[in-house]
Structure 1
């Protein structure tokens, strides 16, 4: 078991009409520089997106969300950004933008298991609550 480590995270949000400010959470980014960990998990709830915008292009939104995953993985398949160091990739992903995909402010946490923290954030912040 690892000692606790600090990590930063941000939610990935879809805003089908940026000017309206309505969004759904579609994924989570987690970064721990001390552990060399940068990962994104995305789960687009298509029904929720279509409730906000019945004409949403689901294929385009899904492809853009998958780009977050590729950039976190790094390497040539992520384009020029994939060649940046881990923290620089995270900082680039969470930089403010005015597109239909945006991230929340960055938050911090501590854990012993980064994969479990990522799963917990996905369950708590992205998936629909279970009654």
Structure 2
């Protein structure tokens, strides 16, 4: 079993209203040397909050989460930081269109399976969830 931390990635199209749509999850495990973000934006739900939201901008900002998690020069200066620092940077509180929930923790054996489970629980609408085995 490995200890992990995660945060839900949220899109807040009109920051002044404080309404958001959960759009993904970022999960970090130091012992497992794992850092990954998965994004599944429900654009129809987002448009319900703001019909005029710039989806191209939102998609670009969400894609940056995955790039920063992957690390390397293509992710800019933040992508060159150690994985744990990249996670802390991604989950730092901010008042912008893309925000994260507070960081939560847990234990798991398989990070990819846990990330999928968190997407089911926190991001996907009930009709879109993977069937339970």
TM-score range, shorter chain: over 0.9
Q: Is 1:121 aligned to 2:130, yes or no?
A: no
Q: CA deviation at 1:125?
A: 0.6
Q: Is 1:19 aligned to 2:11, yes or no?
A: no
Of 80, 84, 92, the residue aligned with 1:87 is 84
**C-alpha distance in 2 between matches for 1:22 and 1:85:** 32
Aligned counterpart, 1:78: 75
Structure 2 residue ranges without an equivalent (≥5): 129-133
**C-alpha distance in 2 between matches for 1:121 and 1:77:** 27
CA RMSD of the aligned region, Å? 0.9
> Which runs of at least 4 in structure 1 moved beyond 2 Å after TM superposition?
none
Aligned counterpart, 1:104: 101
Aligned counterpart, 1:58: 55
**C-alpha distance in 2 between matches for 1:62 and 1:122:** 17
Q: CA deviation at 1:123?
A: 1.0
Q: CA deviation at 1:130?
A: 2.6
- Aligned pair count reads 128
Of 21, 35, 38, the residue aligned with 1:38 is 35
Structure 1 residue ranges without an equivalent (≥5): none
TM-score if structure 1 supplies the norm length?
Answer: 0.96
Deviations, residues 30-79 of structure 1 (Å, cap 9, x unaligned): 00001110000001100000000000011110010000000000001100
